[in-house]
Amino acid sequence: MSCAPANEPWEHAKAMAELTHTPSTPLTARPQANAVTRFFRATEIDTRLLGMVGALLIIWVGFEILSDGLFLTPRNLWNLSVQTASVSVMATGMVLVIVTRNIDLSVGSILGFVGMVMAVTQAEILPKLIGFNHPAIWIIALLVGLLVGTAIGALHGAIIAFLKVPSFIVTLGGLLVWRGGAWFITSGRTVAPMDPTYRLMGGGTEGSIGATASWIVGIIACIAIVGTIINSRRQRQRFGFPQRPMWAEYFLSALGCVLVLGAVAVVNSYPWPTAIARRYADANGIAWPDGGLFIAHGIAVPVLIAIVIGIIMTFISTRLRFGRYVFAIGGNQEAAELAGIKTRWVTVKIFALMGALCAVAAAISTARLNAATNAQGELDELYTIAAAVIGGTSLGGGMGTIAGAMLGALVMQSLQSGMVLVGIDSPLQRIVVGVVLVVAVWLDTVYRARAR
Amino acid sequence: MTESRTPLVEMNNISISFGGIHAVDNASVDLYPGEVVAVLGHNGAGKSTLIKILSGAYRRDSGDILINGEAAVINNPRDAKTYGIETIYQTLAVADNVDAAANLYLGRELRTPWGTLDDVAMEHKTREVMGRLNPNFQRFKEPVKALSGGQRQSVAIARAILFDARILIMDEPTAALGPQETAQVGELIKQLKKEGIGIFLISHDIHDVFDLADRVTVMKNGRVVGHARTQDVTKDEVLGMIILGKVPEKAIPGPGAMANV
């Protein structure tokens, strides 16, 4: 077998350096003739993330078999995506919190409080001021929520950074305070209904963008994927750095596009329910065909929100100075301080960002329920933390990815809705989720110990 | 001192205490361009603390710092860096979980016109600097955690010399190194000296630094025992200063010198 990968000179230099300079380097870093190893090195695919995708597929196929083909249907997968949106939005922020060796136990309560604030704003305050169904109601309510969420987060961050109270305690206090606050605002009364435009953020038949728009989004995503790969290659060419072999670039582009377009195809094959489609047909004067009218849901708005948040958070954490500082602080706080980083301000910003993300999650959650209750988001802090940790965020700090956390949220949600679908009793559901969390983190520990 | 030039750094009558303990008590030390001054003393003698005041990690209780003869305001590490003071800490102070380039530019990242991190440009410059320091170094994409002790040290050194330092502080620069790497650091110090950079070498082991230093300043219990030019004293005499606080004839005694014997 020919053993000449395209990046050979690079590998060669690497091996030379290790032989001549660092005899203590572990042998694993040397190039190996193993095809699988070479494949992963050339494509730079994160094998950890790949393991999670594998686990997700096993869960999906497992439930597909157990439920006699009910799990892997467009309808269920579409619902799954909507159910995952709220927690995955918060999980992206939790990654940054945990990377700096902090924790936020208050996200569920902030969600409840901010959701209640937004509900009262749009259902009780604004109609009196600007009238019912005013087109600006949804955006004003959302902005108020974002403002309140950010302020709560910043307050938590300031107490943690400047008064030096451990984040565990501050946010444990926050868990009680904001849950109490949510109760206090309306004395425990549920607030409903939400503004019709606001409700689109929760998904549902109306809150989906339809087939054509979904394909457009999918195609834009594909262009973005290819563009990113080309741009990164150009950047590396600019200084003559080692590059991925061409076949790896093609492979990654193709893989990305297939995944995106596949997901769009799935959500586009979930039609509107007959009753709604018929009402729509009647309202728009469309003749009702014999086989029924097929109107696809397409991507749900909350899912679109979550994806956009995921992209923004990935950008923040990998491309901006702020993100670099977050990881540096997580790796070595003292070093970060000595390098002149204002670590306390970074902490305040992280928690403020977390608060803003809770507000987004609150909007999705209240819009979906079409109401705000004082129990909204209970236990969400634990699902959020679990999603981040299952997604590879290390509680020891310094490590974690946004994509991993979102995938972790999807794994958790898949387990839960799968168990509902199969008809497992709810006490047993919690037991399973708890066990899975512990096992997942144990497997990750084993993986990391071996990878070292 | 015999020199008439303006010192690069003068630290006059510096004191700092932590919870009633005088870690540094009325200490003075100076440094000229192109000079290597070794600050010696036992563990706990106050040498690291004194120098951390210069690098902005600690804030002094009293005393003055003059850079090029002018009073300098140093309240945090950023201030120190604006005066061209770079420090290589004993602990290296690198963030283990990010790569060499991220560490080199930590706190001073290069950015594209859009305000995003210019990782490629940073890696380019990192390759250039590391190429000079440690030509065999090739592991630019790996977190610093994966590197050997010597490689981590070269990352810490590269970070200090990357930004045109005028004053370099090296706290136990060779403590974690093998003989070959120690020699490399020695060569580097000589080279930097030629470029006119003033260097403080902090060490508890006289053998590491005696041959590299032009002068030594010895500290004991937070006080300066004395200063001496290395050509005027022997290693044994300096050891006497470190251990007993006994000042040889040709050295200049400080406030911490042993009472007249």
Domains identified in chain A and CATH numbers = 51-208+300-451 (1.10.3470)
CA of A14, closest CA in chain B: separation in Å?
Answer: 6
ipTM of the complex: 0.88
The sheet with strand B70-71 has its strands ordered as B21-31, B9-18, B62-67, B70-71
Does the structure show a pLDDT above 50 at A2? no
Q: What is the pLDDT of residues B86-128, one digit of tens each?
A: 999 888 889 999 999 999 999 999 999 999 999 989 999 999 9
User: Which among B95, B109, B148 is the nearest to A331, CB-wise?
Assistant: B95
Terminal Cα distance for chain B, rounded: 25
Q: Which amino acid is at B206?
A: I
- How far off is chain A from B111, nearest CA to CA, in Å? 8
pLDDT tens digits for range B29-69: 999 999 999 999 888 889 989 999 999 999 999 999 999 99
Residue A28: which pLDDT band, with cuts at 50, 70 and 90? very low
Distance of CA A438 to the CA centre of its chain: 20
Cβ-defined contact of B123 to A241 (cutoff 8 Å): yes
**Predicted local distance difference test score (pLDDT) of residue A17:** 37
* Chain A positions in Cβ-Cβ contact with residue B58 (cut-off 8 Å): none
Nearest of B16, B44, B53 to residue B169 by alpha carbon: B53
Tell me if B102 and A324 make a contact (CB, 8 A cut-off).
yes
Does residue A137 have a pLDDT over 60? yes
B111/A328 Cβ within 8 A = no
Q: How confident is the model at residue A452 (pLDDT cuts 50, 70, 90)?
A: low
Distance CA A116, CA A125 (A): 12
Report the pLDDT value the prediction gives residue A178, as an integer from 0 to 100. Answer: 97
Residue A138 contacts residue A197 (beta carbons within 8 Å): yes
Answer whether A328's CB lies under 8 Å from A340's CB: no
Residue contact B89–A321, C-beta within 8 A: no
pLDDT band for position B254 (50/70/90)?
A: confident
Of B98, B117, B137, the CB nearest to A17: B137
CA distance A343 to chain B (A): 11
Q: Given a cut of 50, is residue A256 above it in pLDDT? A: yes
**Higher-scoring residue by pLDDT: A4, A321:** A321
Candidates A338, A341, A393: best to mutate against B (most CBs of B within 10 A) is A338
How far is it, in rounded angstroms, from Cα A105 to Cα A219? Answer: 38
pLDDT (0 to 100) of residue B137: 85
Q: Using the beta-carbon criterion (under 8 Å), do B116 and A320 form an inter-chain contact?
A: yes
pLDDT band at A170 (very low <50, low <70, confident <90, very high): very high
**In the predicted model, is pLDDT for residue A11 greater than 80?**
no
Whether residue B91 lies within 8 A of chain A, CB to CB, comes out as yes
Query: What is residue A122's predicted lDDT score, i.e. its pLDDT?
Result: 95
Residue B152 has pLDDT above 90, yes or no: no
* pLDDT recorded at residue A175: 97
Closest residue in A to B104 (Cα–Cα): A339
Chain A residues lying within 8 Å of B131, measured CB to CB: none
A444 confidence band (pLDDT: 50, 70, 90): confident
Of the listed ranges A155-169, B5-19, B201-215, the least confidently predicted one is B201-215
Asked if B163 contacts B86 with a C-beta cutoff of 8 angstroms, the reply is yes
Chain A residues near residue B134 by CB distance under 8 angstroms: 21
- Whether B153 and chain A come into contact, CB under 8 Å, resolves to no
Please tell me which residue, A30 or A434, carries the higher pLDDT value: A434
CB contact under 8 Å between B148 and A24, yes or no, is yes
pLDDT at A179 over 90: yes
pLDDT digits (tens, 9 = 90+) for A321-359: 999 999 999 999 999 999 999 999 999 999 999 999 999
Q: Indicate the pLDDT class of residue A15, thresholds 50, 70 and 90.
A: very low
Q: Do A338 and B96 touch (CB under 8 A)?
A: no
Q: How far is A234 from chain B (nearest CA, A)?
A: 10
Contact A337 B138 (CB under 8 A): no
**Residue B133: per-residue pLDDT:** 80
Residue B102 in contact with partner chain A when CB distance is under 8 A: yes
pLDDT of res. A180 = 96
pLDDT digits (tens, 9 = 90+) for A32-74: 557 887 888 777 778 888 888 998 999 999 999 999 999 999 9
* In the predicted structure, residue A18 carries a pLDDT above the cut 50: no
CB spacing of B151 vs A22 below 8 angstroms: yes
Coil, strand or helix at B10: strand
- Determine contact, residues A166/A160, Cβ cutoff 8 Å: yes
Domains defined along chain B, listed by start: 1-84+165-261 (3.40.50.300), 94-164 (no CATH)
% of residues, chain A, pLDDT over 70 = 92
Closest alpha carbon to B225 in B53, B63, B45, B55? B45
Question: What per-residue confidence (pLDDT) applies to B1?
Answer: 46
Residue B132: which pLDDT band, with cuts at 50, 70 and 90? confident
